[in-house]
Homo-oligomer: A and B are copies of this chain.
Amino acid sequence: MDPQWDLLPPPFRKLEPEAALLRFSLEMVESLAELVPAMKFQVAFYERFGSSGFRALEQAVRRARALQILVIIDCKRGDIGSTAQEYAHAYLDEEGPLACDAVTLNPYLGRDSLEPFLAFFPRGKGAFALVRTSNPSAPDLQDLDVSGHPLFETVGEKVKEWGSPFVGENGYSSLGAVVGATYPQEAERLRQVLPETFFLLPGYGAQGASEADIALAFDRKGEGVLVNSSRAILFAYRDPVYVDLPPQRYLEASQTAYKQATNRIRHAIDERMKNR
């Protein structure tokens, strides 16, 4: 859920921001509820409109959870312990205004910035720490050489260590890693270093990563990854591939794009498993 204002179907852009964000978000949530296991809400697209954007986000998140969709809020927060406590309350406490299932976190401040979130893990919550991001400037800091290895590998190892007390029955920790699919070699390398860490994998679709790139990040069982596709699903109505669907059928375009992407990814994973 990256409801970028200028990509919304035209009728929405005639509404007030809060109404537009809310209606578009609710329509997408309801339209995709039967298909998707989880939805990642990018808070920035709501925060852009301040308190009124947050009001829309609160309602959309509540609706998604009522429909049994796992909700990840992509906020990339990271702050000193006493402040991180406030963010953790907002997003992971069931009493908080944006109660969801998992958040994304920035690890630059170190372990104590994650601790208030870890405290909610025994209650079924989770988080994904940024390890290797999907953007072009990711190498600026993340590829710096730390004793012969790029920084992101060390960060990955720390995420594994911090998450080790929270490994569940299925073998994954409630502390996962954000690994950009746009850097397939790095993702493959991280999978070797972190064989049992759950990855949240952005970069598929609009950002350019292919199904074959994505397949490299899956673990030995062909699992352990939540692939994220935002704009390519949400704004499929703009894609010439779906030109047979008129723009007012944007929900169908999104459903179709979701199903096709899933089929392509499944096929790529099967191929990779065969070649192992």
Residues in chain A within 8 A of chain B (CB atoms): 2, 4, 42, 44-45, 47-55, 57-58, 76-84, 86-87, 89-90, 96-98, 106-113, 130, 133-142, 144-147, 151, 154-155, 158
Residues of B within 8 A of A110 (CB): 133, 135, 137-142
User: Dominant SS at the A interface?
Assistant: helix
Number of copies: 2
A80 near B111 with CB under 8 A, answer: no
Q: Please state if A80 and B135 are interface contacts (CB–CB under 8 Å).
A: yes
B155 & A136 in contact (Cβ 8 Å cutoff):
no
Q: Which residues of B are found within 8 Å of A147, using beta-carbon distances?
A: 145
Cα separation A4 to B86 with both chains bound (whole Å): 9
Contacts of A2 in B (CB 8 A): 83
In-complex Cβ contact of A58 among B50, B87, B151 (8 A):
B50
A71 to chain B, nearest CB (A): 14
- Residue in chain B with minimal CB distance to A180: B80
